[in-house]
Amino acid sequence: MAKSESVKKVLDFVKENDIKFIDFKFMDFPGQWQHFTIPYTQLESDTFDDGLGFDGSSLRGWKVINESDMLIIPDPDTMFVDPFVEAPTISLICDVYEPATKEKYSRCPRNIAQKAEAYLKSTGLADTVYFGPEAEFFIFDDVRFDSKPNGAFYSIDSQEGRWNTGRDEGPNLGYKPRYKEGYFPVPPTDSLMDIRNEMVLNLMDVGIDVEAQHHEVASGGQCEIDLKFQPLLKAADQLLTFKYVVKNTARLNYKTVTYMPKPIMGDNGSGMHVHTSLWKDGKPLFAGNGYAGLSEMGLYYIGGILKHAPALLALTNPITNSYRRLVPGFEAPVRLAYSQSNRSAAVRIPMFSSSPKAKRVEFRCPDPSANPYLAFSAIMMAGLDGIMNRIDPGDPLDRDIYDMSPEELQNVPSTPESLGAALKNLADDHEFLLKGDVFTEDVINTWINYKIDKEIKPMALQPHPYEFALYYDV
């Protein structure tokens, strides 16, 4: 649909449905949606060309105060009715621009995703890259945390948490998933069926295709809602809309949702397994006669992901908590290998269907704390580098990696052990991201410096509560 037609559709919708407010949503650098709102009387067709101004110096990782003016320009094709605002309101996802030049801001994550899609087409290898993220999350009943100079703590709770089997709940009915056994008993052990259904209905109401919902492995409220795959930019837009809908649906039910990957010690963390495939002229390119029914292109795509994975994780697993999930024993993929059906490998080729259209690659390392515009773009760029340079992924690893001896695993590389290590890998290996000007040196350097200054260094300075258990009596 031409932009003028899409704009007219938005303006007509506002008028015909008595919409009172327009909410503009856009992405900051680390990966959180931001927004501001105008009354319907201020929305004009020119808004979609001229944009609206805001203070870029107040957003993380962006402008300094003496260069703070920025513009957002809404994408009319992203309109949805916001179900969580009392007054009739539509939401529009926006791109960020430099006001002086009217060029897209180089650090705008959505701009990076758009450049990634354009670069893919320019290569002639494919014209569409699809992504299907599976973002797991926890639903809690209560969360409290604090960090002060003289103390720090966190406390989370869930009525279905296994740790509450002995609590006086007046009465305690005892149906609480065992640790690592939340996948997936029926109600009443699965106590979150109704709220997940409500989340699914709200997602469908905002135009998102949902494939399934279910409880996940961990006790204490771990869940998953699967979305239908979409082209890169739309998949990232929908993932952010998904997180917005899920969090706000939980809040309306007096519950809280987190996409932090490892909130519970000793149980499975939340991953975001990312399914991806290349298509051209409406035909899938990963189906063939090779291992697990893959084409040569599909295998080289895997080779690129595995080669660059230590650097990729700085973008796909971008917080310090990410690396508390990437440890052996909790179904987390800590070895950089590939396999069909094997969920202990970093890259898996799902075998649910023999249809060429279903042939895809599943990168299992990422988690839902990632900025999807950056993460999806980086995964695609790594895969394309593998195709262009014919990177052999090596032999598949079809055994259960967790049962292999240290000697057997000696030649199987591991994921980075910390965010700092991943950032070091990104600093050393990011040329593949710069092709087509998809990422820039400024974006890479700003990302690395922001993560070090705002997350790694503060964490290093804060005494950990467990250190008192270990060392207080030294």
Positions marked catalytic: 55, 134, 136, 216, 224, 273, 343, 362, 364
CA 316 to chain centre: 7
Helix axes 419-428, 296-316, angle to 10 degrees: 120
- Give how far the C-alpha of residue 188 lies from the chain's centroid of Cα atoms, to the nearest Å: 30
In whole angstroms, how far apart are CA 102 and each of 23, 24, 123, 307, 423?
22, 18, 27, 37, 32
For the beta carbon of residue 127, count every other beta carbon within 10 angstroms.
15
**Per-residue b/e over 225-240, b at no fewer than 16 CB within 10 Å?**
bbbebbbbbbbbbbbb
Percentages helix, strand, coil for the chain, rounded to the nearest 5?
A: 40, 25, 40
Angle between helices 372-388 and 109-123 (to 10 degrees): 20
Residue 52 pairs in a beta bridge with 72
Distance CA(471)–CA(154), nearest Å, equals 20
- The count of other CB atoms within 10 Å of the CB of residue 388 is 14
Residue 299 token pair: 């295998």
